[in-house]
Chains A and B, each alone.
Chain A
Amino acid sequence: MSDLDLLRGTLDLLILKACTWGPRHGYAVTSWIRDTTRGELEVEDGALYQALYRLEQRGWLTSEWGLSENNRKAKYYALTAAGRRQLKAQVSTWERYARAVGRVLREA
């Protein structure tokens, strides 16, 4: 797995996770990820947006225009049923992966 693939898979997971609590607009997603990772993942917002669009295309997210907190037009993203299933699967894969890597590091 190349760095990029790993990064992409991780990004997707994070974005899907960001949307579990209901529809969010693009900025809310980027700021939630930045805040929860405390800035430790150096991901540009532009890449996040591209990921958002890609996920929508895959049918895991769906978007709708709405009004934001301060009454501005914003595009809101929400998880679809398929997205929810995907998130569940990716979370378990990621956890298994992380456990395996952790075990290897502890053994060494």
Chain B
Amino acid sequence: MNPLFEGLRRVFRLDRGPQGAEADVDLELEHHFAAAVEDLVRRGMSPEEARIVADRRFGDLRKTRQALVALSRTQAARRRNWEWRADWWLDVRHAVRNYASTPGVTAAVVTMLALGVGANAAMYGLLDKLFVQPPPHIRAPEGILRLYVRERSGFTGGEEITHSQFDLEQYAALARDVPAFAALAGYWGPSREASGRGQQAEQLRTQTVTGNYFEFLGVQSARGRLLEPADDDPTAAPAAVISYGYGQRRFGGSDAALGRALDLGGTTYTVVGVAPRGFSGATANAADIWIPAEIAGAAQGPHWRQRYWGGLPLRALARLQQGVTPTVAAEQAAAVLRAHYETALLPRGDRPPPFGALHVLTGSFMDAFGLEGISEGLRLSLLVGGVALILLVIACANVANLLMLRAATRRRELAVRSALGAGRWRVARMLLIESTVLALAAGMAAIGVAAVTGRVLRVVPVPNIQWATGVVDLRVLLFGSAVALALGLLAGVVPAVQARRGAGVDDLRAGVRAARRGSTPVRAGLLVIQGALALVLVVGAGVFYRSFEAARNHDAGFDLEQLLVVNLSPMALNPMDRPTLQEERVAAMDEQVRHLPGVMDVAQTSNMMAMSWTNLPLRVQGLESLPRMPGMRGPSIRGVTPNFFRVAGLAITRGRGFTETDATGAPKVTLVNTAMARAVWPSGDPIGGCLYVGAGSGECTTVVGVVATERASLRSDEVVMQYYVPLAQYPLPGNSRSLLVRARGKPEELVEPTLRAMAELFPDLPRDRARALSQWYAPERRPWKVGLGLFAAAGGLALFIAAVGLYAVIAYSVRQREHEFGIRRALGAQVSDITRLVMAQSVAFAALGAVLGAGLAYWGARFVTPLLHRDVSARDPAVLILASAVLLAACLLAGLFPARTAARADPRAALQAE
């Protein structure tokens, strides 16, 4: 028999099968008789005699042989079964022991896989909900289309825009006159509405909907009934449907919620039903309450239907008739809207005529794919997803690297196993079990990471979306653990196969010069990729940091960080319906706030700083019409107290500011901002210029000064032409007023004392009326803040992982070359020479990584550019250089310890080994 096969068989303890059992018994008996005869001959018998005696002593050979073969077979079967189980257990225990013996590497591998996979699983959950999964509880969501309008509107100065806002008249025309629509439903929001009065008011996420909204979506109520078309009747009792979550929160259950009254915008609604759990309406963004648009609109005053931009709009959802294509439906809808313009809007003259044609477009039901382009929050989510993916790649690369090193150090063990007869499959099974053990550990850890990350992702990239259900559900967890398992197996098996290849006699022989192999190309490549990706992330952190800084240093025109805004305008859904201010209360409020500790000064303004604008018909002496400039709005008017410019920190660049003498009845004066000065008087001097404010005004308002331009937005280049008049000379009724408070320290600390004063003087106003001005800009800054945090965390982690990987590889190669270093030392190499030799490896990796990473960062710049501050380039060379320096530093640090080990190599030991 082939000795190799015999060896394998022995190690596997393979039985020989049916024939094998017989052969085994025969072989044993053969030996018995041979030994017996030999023995008897030695004791003096002749060979013939000996044979006869042995036969007699044995008994019935044929029967015995049969019995032995039968026994041998059952024994073999039983052993096979038992051994199979025992081997499994052995392998599992072996794997656990093996990992426990290298706790550092094991912990690193499990942590990296868990972080990479967990973060990605949660991200997958978020993107899935945003882009893939339609909101729950909706019947046949694939049959629903969103309607958009593309037009050149008179409101936007003829610029072509695409939007999805329809007023109720347009909606009614579409619902009535488009034959292609099987059904049409409309909704708006959710937007925050105050329920109740004053500072105790509760903010409800309110969605205004058409009466057929729930029927259109095909939702079944959890309790009571949902809204019906009959609820649109203005004479009916106002009805509302609340979300399951709100019912639990507010009333402690769905049953208790039915019949309750809720006050919204001055109308009292009765809760008639509760939506099913997890239902968020037609968007992923969950609402607390649904009310009929007809009722909510009627509360806004008489002509609310026609107010296109300012009134109550709707977004439109359509289901098509059988066999009608979206294109046909869109054409019909466009024709209906055009006819509506011609017959209703233009004759009434309540909106500027549209420029050019109007088109209707249809889009996917999934909100995120709107034609309006991907919003910032969604873009951020995608970016987070990309970063998570990069981290996963780095983690996997590093895990593979660490396991390869581990496998390399085990070549001897594997070689010994092979030599002892362990077959390829036996070894493969062992390695597979090892990988599975590792993958299971990583999978469990990944589930934990996914749960935590999911909680963070719920609020960080898209905070304005309230989720009806968690981001991470069972599906996500299963997906995550499956990926972890697969990656764990892959990461374990690939290096194992690599190590198996050629693990042979050489490895057994290896004494002193175990492995001359330094780092293999695969290993080196993985390191370079890690370095490159880490560089990309660090560059990302850099450009977002610069955006953040740019916004801070940005000339907002005023002292953004020191101001508190207190909006005292009376409550009303529509600014035009506001009652007039009670001036004595405003004065009292001004006085109280002025004397709060930490307040430097208080000014009053008719419009909230940088947040609200009022445009009045305006004529400039000597000009036929006002110049229209791209990216410039206005001119807008603002009435202010004389100290306003000092409080806001707006510099008066020419002329004078206002004084107390610019009072009611005094000659009318105004200050224009630099943007307006440049636009209206491009060459001349604005001072002394004459403005006629208001329709048909013949009274000259004299320009007495020029003031710096306040920025409306940190993100856009848009500038507002603005002119200021003394509050005493403000031509509009005083129904809108804000206090601008300059704080000594942080304006946030003034919020609570201000609210206390407000509770007394303006009991109707809600809590959100007093806010630090910087908070208004927080949404604009958020992408930078999130981006910075995200990239800084991911970049730091990636650098750390890459450095650990590099350290492991260099430390390994140093250990392999210890002998060589010893010889070098013996031959006279200095400590510095050897250190340099090792460090050169680090530098080479850093350089390669930086070059590759720079290319990647340059390519990837397109994805972050829309999120950055406009003055910051995603391809900023300074950031790139700095990031490369950081990478180099990390690599050098990683090489430092192995280099010191190398330099300490003992020359004597090396010589003795020779």
How many chain-A residues does the 8 Å CB contact rule pick out? 24
A50 touches B28 (CB 8 A): no
Q: Pick the contact of A47 from B29, B59, B61, B72 — CB < 8 Å?
A: B59
CB-CB < 8 A to A56: which residues of B? 75
CB-CB < 8 A to B452: which residues of A? none
B28 touches A26 (CB 8 A): yes
A68 touches B32 (CB 8 A): no
* CA distance in complex: A68, B30 (Å): 13
* CA distance in complex: A63, B289 (Å): 80
Q: Pick the contact of B34 from A31, A46, A49, A72 — CB < 8 Å?
A: A72
Contact A49/B64 with A25-B31, A73-B31 known, Cβ cut-off 8 Å? yes
A53 touches B27 (CB 8 A): no
CB-CB < 8 A to B57: which residues of A? 30, 34, 44-45
0/1 per residue, A27-57, Cβ < 8 Å to B? 1101100100000000011110110011011
Q: What's the nearest-Cβ distance from chain B to residue A5, in Å?
A: 18
Whether a CB of chain A sits under 8 angstroms from the CB of B36 is yes
Contact A53/B38 with A45-B59, A46-B60, A68-B31 known, Cβ cut-off 8 Å? no
Among B26-72, those with CB < 8 Å from A are: 27-29, 31-32, 34-36, 38-39, 54, 57-61, 63-64, 67-68, 71-72
0/1 per residue, B70-104, Cβ < 8 Å to A? 01101100100000000000000000000000000
CB-CB < 8 A to B64: which residues of A? 46-47, 49-50
Whether a CB of chain A sits under 8 angstroms from the CB of B10 is yes
How many chain-B residues does the 8 Å CB contact rule pick out? 27
CB-CB < 8 A to A49: which residues of B? 28-29, 32, 64, 68
A57 touches B78 (CB 8 A): yes
A50 touches B27 (CB 8 A): no
Interface centre among A25, A27, A47, A73 (most CB of B within 10 A): A27
* CA distance in complex: A53, B25 (Å): 10
* CA distance in complex: A56, B68 (Å): 12
Closest to A69 in B: B35
B61 touches A46 (CB 8 A): yes
A65 touches B68 (CB 8 A): no
Contact A50/B32 with A70-B38, A73-B27 known, Cβ cut-off 8 Å? no
B71 touches A44 (CB 8 A): no
B71 touches A53 (CB 8 A): yes
Q: What's the nearest-Cβ distance from chain B to residue A84, in Å?
A: 20
* CA distance in complex: A72, B29 (Å): 12
Whether a CB of chain B sits under 8 angstroms from the CB of A17 is no
Closest to B34 in A: A72
Closest to B67 in A: A50
Interface centre among A28, A49, A73 (most CB of B within 10 A): A49
Closest to B54 in A: A45
CB-CB < 8 A to B75: which residues of A? 53, 56-57
CB-CB < 8 A to A50: which residues of B? 64, 67-68, 71
0/1 per residue, B1-13, Cβ < 8 Å to A? 0000000001000
B28 touches A75 (CB 8 A): yes
CB-CB < 8 A to A72: which residues of B? 31, 34-35
Among A70-89, those with CB < 8 Å from B are: 70, 72-75
> Please, could you name 28 A-B residue pairs with CB atoms under 8 Å apart, sorted by A?
A25-B35, A26-B28, A27-B39, A28-B35, A30-B32, A30-B57, A44-B58, A44-B60, A45-B32, A45-B54, A45-B59, A46-B58, A46-B59, A46-B61, A49-B29, A49-B32, A49-B68, A50-B67, A53-B68, A53-B72, A54-B71, A57-B74, A57-B75, A57-B78, A72-B31, A73-B27, A74-B35, A75-B28
B interface, CB within 8 angstroms of A: 10, 24, 27-29, 31-32, 34-36, 38-39, 54, 57-61, 63-64, 67-68, 71-72, 74-75, 78
> Apart from A53-B75, A68-B31, what are 9 other A-B pairs with CB-CB below 8 Å?
A25-B35, A27-B31, A44-B57, A46-B64, A53-B68, A57-B74, A68-B35, A75-B24, A75-B28
List the 9 closest pairs (A to B, CB-CB), nearest first: A44-B59, A46-B64, A46-B59, A27-B35, A53-B71, A45-B58, A74-B31, A27-B32, A75-B28
A interface, CB within 8 angstroms of B: 25-28, 30-31, 34, 44-47, 49-50, 53-54, 56-57, 65, 68, 70, 72-75
